[in-house]
Amino acid sequence: MKEWYNTARSSGRKVPGFGHRVYRTYDPRARVLGPLAGMMAESNPNCDKMYSIAKRLEEEVVSDLGMEKKIFPNVDYYSGIVYHAMGVPGDLYTVLFAVSRVAGWTARVMEYLENNRIFRPRSLYVGEFDREYVPLENR
């Protein structure tokens, strides 16, 4: 795990589940989900190793980036372990992560409409255009 983290850091990759646009301290939601994931891992042998690795990675990242860059686990870091312990299939995780945010996204759009503001993303799409769709079974 430590070797993987050092490779990710030296190549400039971000570590999934760490950092947050708003919180510059430990995400309060992760403070709840972390111990919950630990409790669920104790009673679920399929999650015990996963939780152990997650805790070691958290210690590594926080000791390396926590004080300097204020990077700590976010809510999604431990929620995947909780979903796994509950028996949720992995291909549904992204859906659950998104569903939990729909109310906030909707509220944001409603605020923009109320103030007659146009949302202008701050990023540019740099991918390919005019690509032909290839069905999943043909990829």
Rounded to 5 degrees, φ, ψ at 25 are: -130, -175
Q: Which residue is catalytic, options 20, 48, 91, 130? A: 20
Q: Which residue is catalytic, options 48, 76, 84, 91? A: 76
pLDDT category of residue 113 using cuts at 50, 70 and 90: confident
Average pLDDT for the chain: 88
Return the axis-axis angle of helices 2-10 and 45-61, rounded to nearest 10°: 50
Is residue 20 part of the annotated active site? The answer reads yes
- Sketch the domain layout of the chain as residue ranges: 1-88, 90-119
Is residue 84 part of the annotated active site? The answer reads no
What one-character DSSP code corresponds to residue 62?
I
Architecture of domain 1-88: Orthogonal Bundle (1.10)
Q: Tens digit of pLDDT for each residue in 45-83?
A: 888 899 999 999 999 999 998 878 888 998 889 998 999
pTM reported for the whole predicted model: 0.72
